[in-house]
Amino acid sequence: MIRLDKYLADMDMGTRSEIKKAIRQGMVKVDDVTVKKPELKVDADTQKIAVNGKEVVYRRMEYYMMNKPAGVVSATKDPKEKTVLGLFKGQRRKDLFPVGRLDKDTVGLLLVTNDGELSHRLLAPGKHVDKIYYAKIDGEVNSEDADAFAQGIDIGDEKLTLPARLEILTSGKESEIRLTIQEGRFHQVKRMFEARGKKVIYLRRESMGTLVLDPQLREGEYRPLTEEELKKLC
């Protein structure tokens, strides 16, 4: 059982004070009966809650795949920048957050959820979850770079990066690569290439663990995870 005002606040139907006011004004119905007590306990699994005639479905956990565009930050709030949560439309839980961070100019796979346990399993360094990136590099990437990445790179932190797998797709003045890492340090991919005297000019995350970016999702679009995707992740 959950308080009616908390039920609606969790589903981002307004601030707690706004919701209490709406309930007291008779704008909320429980099982088609108008109620005016914000503290009323309701069963989120069995009872029907509606605000101004529109049903509000309670979801304890939500999981979304987003193809993050450039120009937005991977945060829940930011005083200056537009966040990935600002791309969501319609009803959603207010406690959603992005799992891990992609730089403002980095695009690609981003998992958005309110499942803290799953987030920890995906991000904890000891879990060794593969994260695969496609990148365009200003400079010729060669086998020496691949060998160095496999040994670990000094990017100015206390420890070298964990061994990473660098696949060279094309090599020249501008190279294309695919990189598999198991960490998520600040600007890690960019710093790894900078340590080798090269610059990342485009970066896209393609996968995280078993979750692979849906090629049908355009940048800025998102969708709920399928049951199969969620089952593999969990």
Amino acid at 44: A
Q: Which residues, in sequence order, are bridge partners of residue 66?
A: 110, 222
Q: Given this model, what pLDDT does residue 126 score?
A: 83
Buried b (16+ CB within 10 A) or exposed e, 149-174: beeebebeeeeebeebebebeebeee
**Residue ranges of domains in the chain, CATH in brackets:** 2-55 (3.10.290.10), 63-124+211-233 (3.30.70.580), 130-208 (3.30.70.1560)
Residues noted as catalytic: 103
Provide the CA 201 distance to its chain's centre, in angstroms. Answer: 22
Any alpha helices (H) in the chain, and if so which ranges? 4-10, 16-24, 116-123, 143-151, 188-194, 227-233
pTM of the predicted model as reported, rounded to 2 decimal places: 0.82
Positions in the chain whose pLDDT score sits under 50? none
